[in-house]
Amino acid sequence: MATLTGKIAWVTGAGSGIGQAAAVALAKEGATVVLTGRRKAPLQATAATIKKAGGKAEVQAGDLMKAASVTKIAKAIDKKYGRCDILVNNAGLNILDRTFAKLSAKGIDEVIHGNLSSAFYCTTAVLPMMRKRKDGLLIHTSSVAGRVPGPLSGATYSAAKHGVVAMSHTLNMEECVNGIRSCAVLPGEVATPILDKRPVPVTKAERAKMAQSEDVGDLIRYIACLPAHIVINEVMINPTWNRGYVAALQRAKG
């Protein structure tokens, strides 16, 4: 029997990248996966991939930047399954105009709501279900930028991802007595569609050296399969060919 058989996992941002890879990996472990994102077609494609492999998945599309939409989806999960065992808080975005010289109020709102507010909305929506069962796991996709600020990701994205890390640690402080665990996953550069929003284009050769969505998806699967008495509070995953390190070495030689 697969480790997660009988579990209900809600994966956000499941239409592509890390969210899609995580959903596929969790389904292979036996979880029934609820897929959420703004665009229905990519979610349906993820669901089709899971079902073709013999897994169970359903699509619950919605805008996670809107609290009412999140509440509606969580209620649908509770009504149908009576539980949510795993939340993968993966939905996120970035913008092109991310430097302070170009940053706008609209861009700030988009990045903060897309990465931080949405994570809080989903978290608070599933906690009642988890508290009721005295069990539950929340896995949040933050970023290395959530620990190490830098100009590459932009101040707003970095601030939002720092917030996700703080949220996750605080969850463990408050909810450990309810059997609830929270893990912040901090990927470095991953070859996902979000790279298309980089001000400086990323080449195909550079993407090939990065971590891949499946690498992070498998890490999420591993965390989800840990026994209930164990929590990984925070974990960082990077490509071996770390462009930041390589650049530092080149500067040192210069």
* Residues with catalytic function: 157
Measured in whole angstroms, how far is the alpha carbon of residue 34 from the centre of its chain?
14
The interaxial angle of helices 17-28 and 213-224, nearest 10 deg, is 40
Q: Quote the CA–CA distance of 55 and 36 in Å, as a whole number.
A: 17
* Rg (alpha carbons) of the chain, rounded to whole number: 18
For the chain, give percent helix, strand, coil, nearest 5: 50, 15, 35
Under 8 Å between Cβ of 4 and 220: no
Residue in 244, 204, 200 with CA at minimum distance from that of residue 96: 200
Phi, psi at residue 6, to the nearest 5°?
A: 90, -10
Beta carbons within 8 Å of 43's beta carbon, 6+ residues apart: 14, 15, 35, 36, 37, 59, 61
